[in-house]
Amino acid sequence: MSGLIGKKIGMTSIFNDEGKNIPCTVIEVGPCVVTQVRTLAVDGYEALQLGFDDKKDKQTTKALKGHFKKAGTIAKKRVAEFQGFEEDYKLGDVLKVDHFAEGEFVDVTGTSKGKGFQGVVKRHGFAGVGQATHGQHNRLRAPGSIGAASYPARVFKGMRMGGRMGGDTIKVQNLRVLKVVTDKNLLIVKGAVPGHKNAYVIIQK
């Protein structure tokens, strides 16, 4: 589906017409530059590659400098491909937040916050073992048994255990667009989106 690249600014809340307080996320969306046009004849599929957020020249390789020079723009920090645009765009065209309209629904994709190594209670919602008193020593947040002894004499793959948590690609679907602030390139959507502040996100119709 068509969409744009954005940057998560943070969360806030707004009041609707009925006076209800709605939690929402503010996303800086665009301006995104068309840095490559994929065609059926050359690439086997149709898509637009968009670039977002300026990047310093000294941090850009020569190959990428040449790639962005073709589009007549400076290097970008984040690029992504989108399909399903109804309009015909060419290299160097700029897409802004007015690509979205108030009241429509969007899907937002981002990388969730990294939590580091976490135990089974936080990572998988385990209840813990036993009770807190009556001589219980140190098993309150333990996973319990992870397999049988003589058979199968091993731990099955996929067993839920402690480990690194977060840092996954998450897509949150059907978020309502509450407000579009065109002069500041801001999109306000209902609810939360994955990622930390200033994290890049993909917004799709």
pLDDT tens digit sequence for 156-166: 999 999 999 99
Kindly tell me if the per-residue pLDDT of 16 is higher than 90. no
Fold classification of 3-118+169-204 is Elongation Factor Tu (Ef-tu); domain 3 (2.40.30)
153 vs 30 pLDDT, higher one = 153
Mean pLDDT of the chain: 92
Q: Which of 102, 104, 100, 89 is nearest to 50 (CA)?
A: 89
Is 4 exposed, middle or buried (CB count within 10 Å of its CB: 0-12, 13-18, 19+)?
A: buried
- Strands (DSSP E) contained in 30-158 are 32-38, 47-54, 76-82, 94-95, 105-111, 116-118
For residue 31, whether the previous peptide bond is cis, meaning omega lies within 30 degrees of 0, is yes
Cα distances (Å, whole numbers) of residue 18 to 6, 105, 178:
30, 21, 14
Per residue in 178-191, pLDDT tens? Answer: 999 999 999 999 99
Return the sign of the alpha-carbon dihedral for residues 57, 58, 59, 63. Answer: positive
The per-residue pLDDT for range 19-62, each reduced to its tens digit, is 999 999 999 997 999 999 998 999 899 999 999 988 898 888 99
Q: Report the C-alpha gap between 111 and 189 in whole angstroms.
A: 17
The tens digit of pLDDT for each residue in 120-148 reads 999 999 998 878 888 888 888 999 899 99
Residue 88 has pLDDT above 90, yes or no: no
- According to CATH, where is 2.40.30.10 located in the chain? 3-118+169-204
